[in-house]
Structure 1
Amino acid sequence: MKFIKLISLSLITILQFSCNRQIFSTNGETIYKTGKNLKGEKMLDKKASRITIVNSCKTCHGKNGDAMQKVSIKFSYLSNRNNFTIPYTDSLLYRFLDNDIKSDGTKANIGVIWKMNDQDKKDLLEYLKTL
């Protein structure tokens, strides 16, 4: 009887954790909301980052990309000339992700460094354009 209860409890626990796993529509959305790509690879470079407690872009920037008071991560904001002397382009955003360099060429020094392959960066940018 104890064995059956143990098996039942184990199955319920496994099903509960499986059902709680969120599935997102794109790789970019997955990266933004979880910090991992669809393959499950973690995007945060903990060795290069000073701040290692973040899990994803959403951790700081929020569900809609505009939780930070000084800067939104929405691409419509980043690419707007009214917000930046040198607005972000696709390539400037990629440079930011790779080297922590702002659109004007100065060091961002945010303390969070991401490691993404070209496709992951492209997918994330496409998602940011939907926010």
Structure 2
Amino acid sequence: MSDKPSVLFVCVHNAGRSQMAAAWLTHLAGDRVEVRSAGSDPAGAVNPAAVEAMAEVGIDISTRVPKVLTMDAVKESDVCITMGCGDTCPVLPGKRYLDWELEDPAGRGVEAVRPIRDGIKTLVEGLIADIAPGETV
């Protein structure tokens, strides 16, 4: 692990919420935070409505690929943030765990995904203020 904080975002399919959260954190914190995302049951591709919603705010997640949640990803992270995956995220001592209750964007259009995207941004801004305070992009 490096000297900067690392965050792992986990949702079931790693296709919507966790991808948007990882993109927001990367965009807003830059290289001050290591960012990972994974899913307990990864989808084959990122949700197109999530891709469109993030593109509307100038963030491209079109090339991201859902990844499976591994014990190594948890071990390498300081903060693990779950988003609807429940007990499937391994709990290790010395890690900080947060559960963000967010609607699942799966199967929804971009109109329904926008408020989820904006809610994630607000949560990410609070996370940055907590773990990596400083100037945001």
Determine if the TM-score, normalized by the shorter chain, exceeds 0.5.
no
Bigger RCO (CA 8 Å, 6+ sep): 2
TM value normalised by structure 1: 0.29
Asked which structure has the greater CA Rg, the reply is 1
